[in-house]
Amino acid sequence: MIRSMTGFGQAKAESENYHIRIEIKSLNGKYLDLNMRMPRSLNSREVELRQLFGGQLKRGSITVNIYLEDKGADSVAMKLNEDLARKYYRELEKLADDMQADKTGLFRSVSQMPEVFTSSEDGISDADFEAVCDCFKQAVEQLDQYRIKEGQELQEYLRGHSKKIGAELLPSIAEYDASRREEVRTRLRSGLDDLVKQGEMDEGRFEQELLYYLEKYDITEEKNRLKSHCDLFNQELEGNCSGKKLGFISQEMGREINTMGSKAYYAPVQRIVIDMKEELEMIKEQVLNVL
């Protein structure tokens, strides 16, 4: 079963010192583009987290948000950066004087400025970090379920358009084969009559021209290959196929459709080819969302 590249997963957990919440948002992307947002206390663990996330998420534009909430005021010792707080206060006080602004609540604002209060710990404990990893695995599982559900809808969408090409439009070309061949025959006969009238008839040259045009106008091979590509596409949809492989198959489908359009030289067939191209564009657009 295919999976969509878009999805969302979240999970909550608790460790000895923290309430943990992790959110994962995934959008389509050619490669793995991982953007992590996390508290400073996890900075020293970033490499480990990226290795864990990268091994699970594989591909897509992914944003991981990690939230840690202290269970109590005494769970983590805090340290005041007094020099920075004084600098913030002086600068804001000067700005307020210049702008004749109210300075009420200035001290409270300074106390909430970045880096004024910092944790005295360099990071979280191993036990807390293990809880973060377990929470992440739960979020990934939710993300995967979301991707599977989206993948089922994608599968039906792609199957429908592929069958439209291979089982509806392609057979309809056969209905015009007889009239198309007759038109080609008439065109060749007319050209032959002109050569005879001009006294320029050369049997060897005629046979060469005839073989050339027979090959030029014949689309049997392209029809067979397109049917084979459509069958393969539908077959891969039933398995655990990657979006890249489906993309390659759709490119081959497009190559055969384009060749048929250039060799048909018959308006009804070319109209069908245009319909095929429209269906194929819808396939290519959605294949980009397959993991």
pLDDT of 60: 86
Confidence class for position 90, pLDDT limits 50, 70, 90: confident
Residues 244, 250: Cα–Cα separation, whole Å:
10
- Per-residue pLDDT, averaged over 134-153, amounts to 92
Tell me: pLDDT of 274 over 90. yes
Confidence of residue 134 (pLDDT cuts 50, 70, 90): very high
CA trace torsion 56, 57, 58, 64 (10° rounding): -130
Q: Bigger pLDDT: 54 or 268?
A: 268
Angstrom distances, CA of residue 8 to CA of 32, 46, 137:
16, 22, 13
Hey, what are 13's tokens?
A: 């957990």
Instruction: State the virtual CA torsion across 192, 198, 204, 210 in degrees, nearest 10.
Output: -20
- Supply 152's token pair: 């089922």
Q: What integer is the mean pLDDT of 147-169?
A: 92
Reduced to 3 states, what is the DSSP secondary structure of residue 159? helix
Q: Which position has the token pair 């994608």?
A: 154
Is pLDDT at 207 greater than 70 in this prediction? no
Element (H, E) at 243: helix 243-264
The pLDDT of 245-260, averaged and rounded, is 93
pLDDT of residue 77: 57
Average pLDDT over residues 232-248: 88
CB-CB contact of 68 with 15 (8 Å): no
Residue 61 bridge partners (DSSP): 27, 33
Per-residue confidence (pLDDT) for residue 138, from 0 to 100: 94
The radius of gyration computed from the CA coordinates of the chain, to the nearest angstrom, equals 33
d(CA 249, CA 227): 12
Confidence of residue 196 (pLDDT cuts 50, 70, 90): low
pLDDT in tens, 44-59: 888 888 888 877 787 8
Taken in order of first residue, the domains within the chain and their CATH numbers are 7-75+124-147 (3.30.230.10), 78-118 (no CATH), 150-287 (no CATH)
Q: Are 291 and 58 in contact (CB under 8 A)?
A: yes
Position 231 scores a pLDDT of 93
pLDDT, mean of residues 219-228: 90
Kind plus residue range of the DSSP H or E element containing 17: none
d(CA 289, CA 26): 11
Among 78-87, 182-191, 214-223, 238-247, the minimum mean pLDDT is found in: 182-191
